[in-house]
């Protein structure tokens, strides 16, 4: 069984490829260097030629609050094109199984907590990343539609906030955890007396190491077959303020943390209900402290 992973060079795709190779799977990882998924014709030709049994879609335009706020057209349009081109090409090539990876930002801003899969579309989205969320919701619907119309065994999985090696540490477009790692490392290196951070620090989030996600993806491919999406998270939340203090301590920065309440906080609370994925026999094994420490080490060695 050949497995194609789209988005091989990214945080998620690289972790999935590593996990599959560890399991001696027949895996092909691709990135934009192999085929531009925004090009529909080339995508169709490429998938037809490779003819994989399984496609895992980890290819997407992603970013933090700043990037989502500044470039909503790209976050909506590019992601719609990437996922629809890949799914339509998979259908044309008669791909047996397709796993679409979305994001927990699909859920309403003020959703009940912990967030169950059936809370989708029960309220308004967080406006700072609504364009990206709508694109991912469209991907979920396209998976469901292919199941309904063609009886494909295709599935959707929604990870929580991810981090780990090969993350995006860009200060303008990265997500909160890798940006905090970079800020504290640079502050320590420059002997800065303080670090300025966005928002109030009050929002609650959960964070999953990408290697734990990769194990969950493999289990979903093997055991999950349902039209409803499946959450992948930890079920454990932490405030951004406490996260910043934790990263500061792990990095060894001893200065002051200053919060800029004029900047947006995003969704006030977001923790996933992981009952469904837990019932498949999966649970996260990398603690937040372990994961942050290893990610800090990876950043220092590679960036």
Listed by start position, the domains of the chain span 2-166+206-234+271-286
Summarised one tens digit per residue, pLDDT across range 250-288 is 999 999 999 999 988 888 999 999 999 999 999 999 999
3-class secondary-structure state, position 196: strand
In this prediction, residue 65 has a pLDDT band, given cuts at 50, 70 and 90, of: confident
3-class secondary-structure state, position 124: coil
Angle (nearest 5°) at CA 153 between 147 and 156: 80
pTM: 0.95
Cβ neighbourhood burial of 260 (10 Å; 0-12, 13-18, 19+): exposed
In this prediction, residue 67 has a pLDDT band, given cuts at 50, 70 and 90, of: confident
Question: Between helices 240-251 and 176-189, what is the axis angle to 10°?
Answer: 40
Integer CA distances (angstroms), 90 to 15, 178, 245, 286, in order: 22, 33, 45, 33
User: How many residues make up the chain in this entry?
Assistant: 303
Integer CA distances (angstroms), 157 to 56, 68, 92, 114, 300, in order: 10, 21, 22, 16, 31
Integer CA distances (angstroms), 8 to 14, 34, 66, 287, in order: 5, 10, 24, 25
Q: How many helices (H) and strands (E) does the chain have?
A: 10, 13
Summarised one tens digit per residue, pLDDT across range 144-191 is 999 999 999 999 999 999 999 999 999 988 899 999 999 999 999 999
User: Which tokens in the block code for residue 188?
Assistant: 């320590």
- What CATH code would you report for 2-166+206-234+271-286? 3.40.50.720
In this prediction, residue 93 has a pLDDT band, given cuts at 50, 70 and 90, of: very high
User: Which tokens in the block code for residue 278?
Assistant: 């837990």
Output the average pLDDT for the chain. 96
Active-site residue list: 132
Pairing of strands 204-205, 238-239: antiparallel
């Amino acid at each position: 069984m050949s497995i194609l992973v789209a988005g091989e060079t990214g945080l998620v795709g690289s972790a999935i490829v590593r996990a599959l190779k560890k399991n001696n799977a027949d895996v092909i990882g691709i990135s934009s260097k192999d085929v531009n998924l925004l090009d529909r014709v080339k995508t169709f030709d490429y998938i037809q030629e490779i003819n994989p049994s399984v496609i895992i879609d980890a290819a997407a335009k992603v970013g933090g609050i700043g990037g989502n706020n500044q470039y909503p057209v790209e976050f909506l349009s590019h992601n719609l094109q990437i996922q629809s081109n890949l799914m339509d090409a998979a259908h044309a090539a008669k791909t047996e199984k397709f796993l679409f990876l979305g994001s927990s930002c699909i859920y309403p801003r003020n959703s009940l907590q912990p967030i169950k899969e059936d809370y989708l579309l029960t309220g308004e989205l967080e406006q700072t990343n609504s364009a990206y969320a709508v694109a991912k919701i469209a991907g979920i619907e396209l998976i469901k539609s292919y199941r309904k119309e063609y009886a494909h065994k295709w599935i959707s999985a929604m990870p929580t906030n991810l981090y780990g090696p090969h993350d995006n540490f860009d200060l303008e477009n990265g997500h909160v955890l890798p940006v905090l790692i970079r800020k504290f490392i640079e502050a320590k290196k420059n002997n800065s007396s303080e670090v300025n951070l966005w928002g109030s620090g009050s929002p609650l989030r959960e964070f999953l190491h990408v290697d734990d996600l990769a194990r969950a993806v493999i289990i979903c491919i093997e055991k999950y077959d349902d039209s409803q999406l499946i959450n992948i998270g930890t079920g454990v939340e932490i405030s951004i303020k406490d996260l910043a203090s934790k990263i500061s301590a792990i990095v060894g920065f001893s200065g002051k943390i200053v919060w800029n309440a004029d900047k947006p906080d995003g969704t006030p609370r977001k923790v996933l209900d992981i009952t469904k994925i837990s019932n498949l026999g999966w649970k996260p094994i990398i603690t937040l402290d372990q994961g942050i420490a290893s990610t800090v080490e990876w950043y220092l060695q590679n960036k």
